[in-house]
Amino acid sequence: MLYEFRASTLDVQNQVGVFTLNRPDVFNAINPDIRDDFHDMMAHVRNNKSISALVLTGAGKGFCAGGDIADMDNDDNRDPEFKRRKVLNLHMVIENLYNLEIPVIGAINGAAFGAGFSLALSCDFVLASSKSTFCASFQRLGVVPDLGLFYFLPRLIGQRKAKELMLTARIINAEEAYELGFLHAVHPPEELLEEAIHMASNFAQASRVATGLTKNFVNQSLDLNYRAMAELEANGQAICAASPYHHQAVDRFLKKEPIDFDWEKLQKKGR
Burial environment of residue 197 by CB neighbours within 10 A (0 to 12, 13 to 18, 19 or more): buried
Measured between alpha carbons, how far is 117 from 24 in angstroms, rounded to an integer? Answer: 17
Q: What is the pLDDT of residue 270?
A: 60
Q: How many CB atoms lie within 10 A of CB 193?
A: 18
Q: Which residues, in sequence order, are bridge partners of residue 56?
A: 19, 106
Calculated CA dihedral for residues 124, 133, 74, 152, nearest 10 degrees: 30
b vs e for 100-135, b when ≥16 Cβ sit within 10 Å of the residue's Cβ? bebbbbbbbbbbbbbbbbbbbbbbbbbbbbebbbbb
Backbone angles phi, psi at 152, to 5 degrees: -75, -50
CA atoms within a 13 Å half-sphere pointing along the CA-CB vector of 236: 18
Q: Can you give the pLDDT at residue 75?
A: 64
Percent of the chain with pLDDT over 90: 90
CA distance linking residue 200 with residue 67, whole number of Å: 27
Whether 76 has a pLDDT exceeding 80, the answer reads no
Angle at CA of residue 95, ends 50 and 192, nearest 5°: 60
Paired with 20 in beta bridges are 9, 57
As a whole number of angstroms, the distance between CA 28 and CA 65 comes to 6
17-71 pLDDT per residue, tens: 999 999 999 999 999 999 999 999 999 999 999 999 999 999 999 999 999 887 7
> Is 1's pLDDT higher than 90?
yes
User: Is residue 74 predicted with pLDDT exceeding 90?
Assistant: no
Integer Cα distance of 152 and 183 in angstroms: 13
Answer CATH for 2-204 from 3.40.50.2300, 3.90.226.10, 3.40.309.10, 3.40.50.300: 3.90.226.10
Confidence band of 128 (pLDDT split at 50, 70, 90): very high
Residues of the chain with CATH 1.10.12: 206-268
**Counting runs of H as helices and runs of E as strands, what totals does the chain give?**
12, 11
Q: Which fold has domain 206-268?
A: Lyase 2-enoyl-coa Hydratase; Chain  A, domain 2 (1.10.12)
pLDDT greater than 90 at residue 250: yes
**The pTM is what?**
0.95
* Ranges for all domains in the chain classified under CATH 3.90.226.10: 2-204
pLDDT in tens, 78-114: 788 988 998 999 999 999 999 999 999 999 999 999 9
Average pLDDT over residues 178-201: 97
Does 72 have pLDDT greater than 90?
no
- pLDDT score for 68: 87
**Residue spans of alpha helices (H) in 122-243:** 149-157, 159-168, 174-180, 192-202, 208-221, 226-241
53-58 sheet: strands from edge to edge: 2-4, 8-13, 16-21, 53-58, 104-108, 125-129, 185-187
**Using one digit for the tens of pLDDT, what is the confidence trace for 208-249?**
999 999 999 999 999 999 999 999 999 999 999 999 999 999
User: What does the pLDDT read at residue 271?
Assistant: 59
